[in-house]
Every structure is written in C-alpha cells, then in structure tokens.
Amino acid sequence: MRQIENFIAGEYVAAASGRRFEKRSPVDNRVIASISEAGRPEVDAAVQAARAALHGEWGGLTTEQRVELLYGVANEITRRFEDFVEAEMADTGQPSHVMRHVFIPRGAANFKVFADVVKNVPTEAFQMATPDGAGALNYAIRVPKGVIGVICPWNAPFLLMTWKLGPALACGNTVVVKPSEETPNTAVLLGEVMNAVGVPKGVYNVVNGFGPDSAGAFLTQHPGVDAITFTGETRTGAAIMKAASEGMRDVSFELGGKNAGIVFADADFDAAVDGIFRSAFLNTGQVCLGTERVYVEWPIFERFVQALKLKAEAVKYGRPEDHAANYGPLISQEHKRKVLSYYAKAVEEGATVVTGGGVPDMPGELAEGAWVQPTIWTGLPETAAVVREEIFGPCCHIRPFDSEQEVVALANATDYGLSTTIWTTNLARAHRVAARVEVGITWINSWFLRDLRTAFGGSKQSGIGREGGVHSLEFYTETRNICVKL
C-alpha cells in the first residue's frame, strides 16, 4: 500500500495532525494507498512557500528561462510516461489506452502549449496626442497574478490539473494544488518531476484532503491565495465563489453540464452513432463534456436507438492493464451509488430501458468494484430528473424531434451550457444551429476534438471565464498600462 504525503516547498511532508485517509481501487475496492490529510498548518505552509518562491528565485526568472523549465517538465513527464500511466490507472481504473493516447500525452502537452503561448504573445501599444503636441505613448505589460489555488477534479485528474498548471506557471505564478481525494497520485508524482527538472522549491505545492473543513476549504479561504481555478460540480463552485468574495479574488470555473447531442436525419449515420457512443460512454461517462441528452430526428430515430444499443452492449469490461478492455469502473463506491440511484429514478419516472440499468456480472474480486452498465433510456419528458440533472455516469436519454427550431429549444432548455455536438451533412444548417445553441463549445460532426489555442469554458451554470491559448492569460496575469509622456 502506497504512502502518499503532501508536497510543500519541494519536500514530501505528512500532516502534523497525523490524520490520514484511505484510497480504494475503483476496480476491486482494495485499499491501495494511505494519504496524509493536510490541515490548516500544511495549507498555510504551502501558501507561504508559494509566496516566497513568487518573490524569490522563480520571480526573478525571465520568460525564456521559465519556458525552458516548462519544456523540461513536459520532457520529464514523457520520460516517466509509464509511471504516470500506472498512477492514473490506479486512481481511476480506466483502460490503459485512454491513459496512453489521451490523458497523459495531453497532460505533458499542456506545459509546452502554454509555454509557447507566453513566449510569443504580444501586448498592445498606443500613441496618443497631448495638448502640448509632444504626445504620449501607452504600452501594456503582463505580470503574474500571484499565488493560484488549483482545485482539481477526479475524472481526468492529470490532464485537467496540467490544463491549469501550464498557463499558471508559464505566466510566472506559483501554485498550491488540491487534487481530488479520489485521485492524488499524479499530482504528487509531478512533484518528483519538478524537483528533477530544477523548478525552484515552492513554485509547485500539493495539499491533499477533502472539501469542507479540510484542505479544499482551507485553501480557498486562505487570504494569501490571489486567485482560484476550479473544475467540478456547480454547487461546489458556488461555495468556492463565496469564499473567493473575501478579498475580491478572481475565479475561473469549469462546472457541470447536461450536454445535448443533436443528430439530423441527413447525418453520416455510422459516424454519428460512433460519435454519440464516445461522448456518452468514454471514461464511463465521467466527462464534463459528455452527452447525457440525445435528440435524433424522427426518420432515423428507431434505427439510431438500436445501433447505439448494440454498441453499448458490446463494451469490454476489464482491469485497466487489460488491453482488450475498453470500459472501466466508476471512480468510487459512493459515485456508483449515486449513478445507480438515477438508474432507479429513471424507471420510477417511466423510462423505457433500452439497455443496461444495473450492475454487470463481474468475475471474482472485480465484483467488488464500482462497475455499472452503460445505460440508454427513451420515453421520458424533459421534466424528468435524469433529463434535467447531471448524472456524470455512462448513460443517456434519447428523444426524437421534428424540426430544427424544436431541437434548438430542447437543447437550450437547461440551466447548463457547457457543450453540444451536432451531426449533419448540411453545413449551412450546422452553422445555423451552432450559433443558436447556448453553450461554450460546439462540435460539428465530431466530439472532444480540442485545439488548445481556442477558448474553452461554459455558459449559464456551467462556468465563469474562458481558458485556452491567449484566453488563459486574462485569468493568470494582470495587465498593467504604462503611460509615458514624450
């Protein structure tokens, strides 16, 4: 069983209180790690270390020197690729091919992408007239925002953590990371990489624990934290926003979603089925951008439902290291209970269960894991709980529609606004619908295709702010104007 400590000022340290908690494997429910729970003293030490680094060696580096270090971090992650794959598989239980081809490579790439952005981004300058005719010159500079509190989710922990770390560090900030209590491994492992590359101590810190009355609350309430970035559930985001209001600190939130997938009758049928299958069931449905509401035009509705059913019933369950497996467990027993409660609620509300709706028959010790079946429903009204509320599991409800106007109204009838995916060969229609759907990101004839230079974030209750490319600089830096009288 692995012993996981906090990472503060370049050292691995246990909490002075001695408090620890267990991490269980989602695959078979075995205890696989004992984790030190940071208290107020450890959070304070981490914030102080970050502040010292900000005004010390790290703060004295040039942009070029920071960029070189971040490229070194990315290269060291790649060199230790197998360690990160194994750590992430242990935490999440997801198949190795997802770790190898998506989550870990993207995690490494985040450092290089944002290093390049910072290295190449221009600032503005304006000449202005003055009454004496001599004129003046205004120019802008960008400075780090300060100590950033980074609160990470458990569904794609390394990818989503580095999505925040990359721009934060490239811009010259220092960070205190609070990973999910379910997925601490890669955050702590990254400390070894930072030390190996020579990132100054205190630039990167990790405090483990929970939310209320634990490391999460202590970090968001700490007056030494200048800004907070969070990916996770909307209600947690609201609580963090209240904490951040003390001191008027900036926030960047990517929150919940109840995303729609829209399939028109003229779509490439096989591509649409494959795309909706991925968007509903990748990572066992634990994807903020995932599709839980599917709207299919009437002429292909029955055919589409049956095709998606066959794909869902063909998933291969198995341990993450099993290369034949393409479907893993949920993150925990607690989350399994939540998802199964929605499965039961769907039936209570009158859903037709097309497939799934329960727990698969798993062999041996796997029967103790957090496994649930991929599930498809039809027949529910838009007022049903499983159509309105984010489940964050491997499930979707499919409803037919008649017209473009109707499906846009259905897609927008939600408190959330994170993403949507549209499937049609009529590109004029695709552009029309994409412009009318109230979300932060729309995919046309694809899903999860991400150019990291583009703006990313949610509308309505799905988030605040935009990150990605130069958009990240708006959160991770302060822009200062300097006016020079000539």
Instruction: Write the DSSP symbol of residue 291.
Output: E
Instruction: Please say whether the beta carbons of 111 and 179 come within 8 A.
Output: no
Among 4, 9, 1, smallest CA distance to 31 is for 1
Report the 10 Å Cβ neighbour count for 357: 19
**Distance (Å, whole) CA 191 – CA 170:** 17
**Distance (Å, whole) CA 184 – CA 171:** 25
**Distance (Å, whole) CA 191 – CA 200:** 11
Q: Which of 5, 254, 292, 467 is catalytic?
A: 254
Catalytic residue at 254? yes
Among 84, 209, 91, 230, smallest CA distance to 155 is for 91
Buried b / exposed e along 50-65 (16+ C-beta atoms within 10 A): bbbbbeeebeeeeeee
Say whether 312 sits in a helix, a strand or coil: helix
Q: Which residues pair with 23 in a beta bridge?
A: 33
DSSP assignment of 354-375, as one string? EE--S-----GGGGGS-----E
For residue 203, give every residue at least 6 positions away whose Cβ sits within 8 Å of its Cβ, in sequence order, or none.
50, 53, 58, 169, 174, 175, 194
**Distance (Å, whole) CA 270 – CA 261:** 15
Among 90, 94, 84, 99, smallest CA distance to 31 is for 90
Catalytic residue at 483? no
The residue count for the chain: 486
Instruction: Please say whether the beta carbons of 117 and 470 come within 8 A.
Output: yes
At 50, list the tokens.
Answer: 């970050």
- Tokens 């779509």 correspond to 267
Q: Which of 42, 152, 181, 288 is catalytic?
A: 288
Q: How far is CA 411 from CA 209, 274, 276, 328, 457, in A?
A: 37, 20, 15, 29, 18
Residues designated as active site: 254, 288
